[in-house]
Amino acid sequence: MSFEFRLPDIGEGVAEGEVVQWFVKEGDSIAEDAPLVSVLTDKANVEIPSPKAGRIARIHAQVGEKVKVGGLLVTIETAGGVGPSTVAPTPSSQPTARAPTTPVPATTSPSVPPSAPSGDVGRILASPYLRRLAAEKGVDLRTIRGSGPGGRITEADLDGGSKLPTPTVLGATPSPPSAAEAPRTASAASGTVPPTASPDSSDVLQRIPIRGIRRAIADRMSLSTHTAAHFTYVEEVDVTELVVLRERMAKHVERQGAKLSYLPFFVKAVVAGLRAHPRLNATMDDARSELVLHSAFNIGIATAAPEGLIVPVLHGADRKSVLQLSREIADLAERGRAGKLARAEMTGGTFTITSLGALGGVLATPILNYPEVAIMGVHKIQRRPVYLPDGAIGPADLMNLSVSLDHRVLDGIEGAQFLATVKSYLEDPHQLFAEMA
């Protein structure tokens, strides 16, 4: 029998997921609990196992497609079901009962070329992107035999397809479309609207679909910039003593199999700053117009991954030592780049730190990790000459910190006071020992 598997509820608050990867193709056999599909939610890839053993009859959601919870993912023929040739057809391929129809006047009927293959266009296995691309090129997807998994059409297959005919009106003298009308003619024949092209499309090097983590980032950044009112404040910090302290501690930490960066110290200084200014350790509930202050210090660490920026979260950062933070930051970063983080490890943040390390630059204005109301940017440390307390000129290790705030609920003075607290802990790092639980 046929079993329809729908996207299950894979986490509180998750309404939809994007199909990232299928581990099977139509016609494959699969065992119960074997990997079936990878779905992206909240920047976390969730691997969903097969609920049944059987044969993959039809995949209903293609890679890059968003599916609502409860939406149909795949049809599986379970043991004892019908064979491949007698699988119940989907609604798009079922024969329909003949019904009286209103005749279409001959003067408005488009001609159908006799060479056009008869088949159901709805069964063409091609992504929306390829359908648009085919429309741009005027290629009839019905004439293409796909070389991808399960007969899916790939971009390379488009060159072998027949050109779509130009619709004509019976009884009228056809006229060739102008250059400006040609794309519209192709799109009308395929039922799709091609993307806007530049005046000279001959210089297009590549079209890159925005999907997966990159699309999740785009959605979240758009939501943040169109919802929160961003304000950024910058402070210069003398971290000369912190540089010395880290070098001394690094030797002891390395003996325990970990590498000590500056990030654990920044996390501890941020926790101290949030204790003193708790309104920054908060998220915004726009549905209820409430600023939600949190007692937990869950610090997100923005991390570069192959597919885009991710933000794993250090839960309970105030309760962890510098050594523990070093190990956890390294572990989260490594598994994040490999796409192996659980959803719980990427949610629940109350404040975020973003840093490019040695490439931190002089200044940046971070975008809020909405619904959080504050984020701190860490920039590179540079040794520069400064005036010393005795009036002489000497070397110092300087860096900039920037904090972006949601100016709807936080004033600039609060950001300045917060960074002043963080600065005091970093310039006199021995104070951090109070935070090094």
Catalytic residues: 407, 411
Q: Are 402 and 264 in contact (CB under 8 A)?
A: no
Q: Strand runs (DSSP E) across 278-392, as ranges?
A: 282-285, 290-293, 299-305, 308-310, 313-314, 351-355, 374-378, 382-387
DSSP H/E element including 330? helix 322-337
At 49, is the secondary structure helix, strand, or coil? strand
- What is the length of the chain? 437
303 C-beta neighbours (distance < 10 Å), count: 18
Angle at 222 between CA 299 and CA 406, to 5 degrees: 50
Q: Which two tokens stand for residue 243?
A: 């540089």
Query: How many angstroms separate the first and last alpha carbons of the chain?
Result: 59
Angle at 298 between CA 245 and CA 357, to 5 degrees: 45
ω into residue 35 within 30 of 0, thus cis?
no
Strand 35-41 relative to strand 44-49: parallel, antiparallel, unpaired? antiparallel
Going by C-alpha positions, the residue among 401, 411, 370 that lies closest to residue 277 is: 411
